[in-house]
Structures are given as C-alpha cells and as structure tokens.
C-alpha cells in the first residue's frame, strides 16, 4: 500500500480495528480480507485491496492479465 493511501486510511471502530483493511484507492478501511465479495485482493499486481467500484481501468487490466498467468 502506498504511503499516501496509508496516511489517508480512515480509522475503524474498535471492534473491527484488526479485521478490516483499507482500499488502496479511496482509503476507506472497510474491506474484510477474509470475506471478499465485491472487493479485490490486488497482491497479484503488487498492491493491497480495492473495492470493485474504486478499481481503475488500468488496475482492472493488470489484475485480469495477472489472473491469466
């Protein structure tokens, strides 16, 4: 995760502090990495996590290409 997104990451409530991660694009800390539904784990393209609606076209192309390999 880039320093910019880490710095902009909104803080979770105490009960989900450990469970959720930030979206690399919008910075909202509301992605549960253990229960991805409409989110992506972008480890294949060297990133963290992203909401479906935040993913850029370039990110989507890179992600789809990585899945093929």
Looking at residue 17, its pLDDT comes to: 60
pTM above 0.75, yes or no: no
22 near 5, Cβ under 8 Å? yes
Looking at residue 66, its pLDDT comes to: 93
pLDDT of 10 > 70? The answer is no
Find where tokens 């502090």 sit.
Answer: 17
Confidence of residue 31 (pLDDT cuts 50, 70, 90): very high
Q: What residues contact residue 9 under an 8 Å CB cut-off, 6+ apart?
A: 22, 27, 28, 29
Q: What's the whole-number mean pLDDT along residues 5-34?
A: 77
Confidence of residue 14 (pLDDT cuts 50, 70, 90): low
Per the DSSP assignment, residues forming a β-bridge with 49 are: 23, 41
């Amino acid at each position: 995760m880039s320093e910019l997104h880490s710095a902009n990451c909104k803080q979770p409530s105490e009960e989900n502090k450990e469970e959720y991660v930030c979206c690399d694009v919008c910075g909202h800390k509301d992605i549960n990495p253990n229960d991805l539904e409409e989110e992506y784990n972008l480890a294949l393209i060297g990133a963290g996590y992203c909401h479906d609606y935040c993913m850029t076209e370039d990110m989507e192309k890179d992600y789809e290409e990585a899945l093929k390999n």
